[in-house]
Amino acid sequence: MKTLLPLLVMLLGAPAMAELTVTSGFDSGASSVGPQAAASQASFLNSTGGRVMLDFEGDMPAGLAIRGGRVTDDSGCRAALCGFNTTEAGSQFLLAPGKKGTITFTFGEGVSYFGAYFSGLQLATGTLTFQDGVRQEISLPYGDISLGGMAFVGFHNPGKLIGSVSFYTGNDIIAIDDVVYGRGPVAAVPEVGTLATMGLGLLAIAGLRRGRAERASARQPV
């Protein structure tokens, strides 16, 4: 009994192992927010409970630092090829000028989800990388080099605190806008295997109690 109780307490408190999930929607040749990207962003906001935290139209949010790229309102070439603003009634976005550049978002308190619109996607070189105990890499979708395209790409890693996210452009000129990030709650739900083990533990405890009761009854004088 004394041995089983600590084990039972430990099992009751064991959360399910959360997995990294990626949400992505791509629109080929888009020079404005396309339906696939918009649907992907809506799904991501709904699943994380998040909202757009950075649209480059005002001050930088507290606790966030960005290294690389430049904020602009004119990419200097066709929007579908070099990217564009995606904020309704806005004009600004962060431009990643290619040349094998890297843009790094650093979060003071860590995040468990991150996503953004990426436009001007032509080459199969864009990647998001971060550390959640191991190095993770997410490849961005891309379009025909003559058409370009845009996407919403986001990831959610419940239970992990990620200090920074880096975006590597390769030689592609890409715009980033309407960045979503934050820390979501983690539900500590026991896994199916844990529940089965817990049930066996409860049965064992019940058996011990029944055995003690029977022995005590047998010792009583008639």
The answer to whether residue 101 scores a pLDDT higher than 60 is yes
Residue bearing the bigger pLDDT, 158 or 16: 158
Q: What's the gap between Cα 15 and its chain centre?
A: 19
| pLDDT (average), residues 146-175 | 96
Q: Is the pTM for the entire model greater than 0.85?
A: no
Q: What are phi and psi of 132, to 5 degrees?
A: -130, 35
Q: How far apart are CA 101 and CA 203, in angstroms?
A: 60
The answer to whether residue 70 scores a pLDDT higher than 70 is yes
* Confidence class for position 202, pLDDT limits 50, 70, 90: very low
| pLDDT (average), residues 86-114 | 95
Predicted pLDDT at 76? 81
* Confidence class for position 184, pLDDT limits 50, 70, 90: confident
Predicted pLDDT at 75? 82
Q: Which residues lie across from 103 on neighbouring strands?
A: 167
Q: What are phi and psi of 178, to 5 degrees?
A: 50, 65
User: In the structure, how many helices (H) and strands (E) does the chain have?
Assistant: 4, 12
**Cα angle for residues 69, 71, 77 (degrees, 5° grid):** 85
| pLDDT (average), residues 8-34 | 76
Q: How far apart are CA 96 and CA 93, in angstroms?
A: 10
Q: List Cβ neighbours of 215 (8 Å cut-off, separation of 6 or more).
A: none
| pLDDT (average), residues 8-18 | 47
| Average pLDDT value over all residues in the chain | 84
Q: List Cβ neighbours of 39 (8 Å cut-off, separation of 6 or more).
A: 25
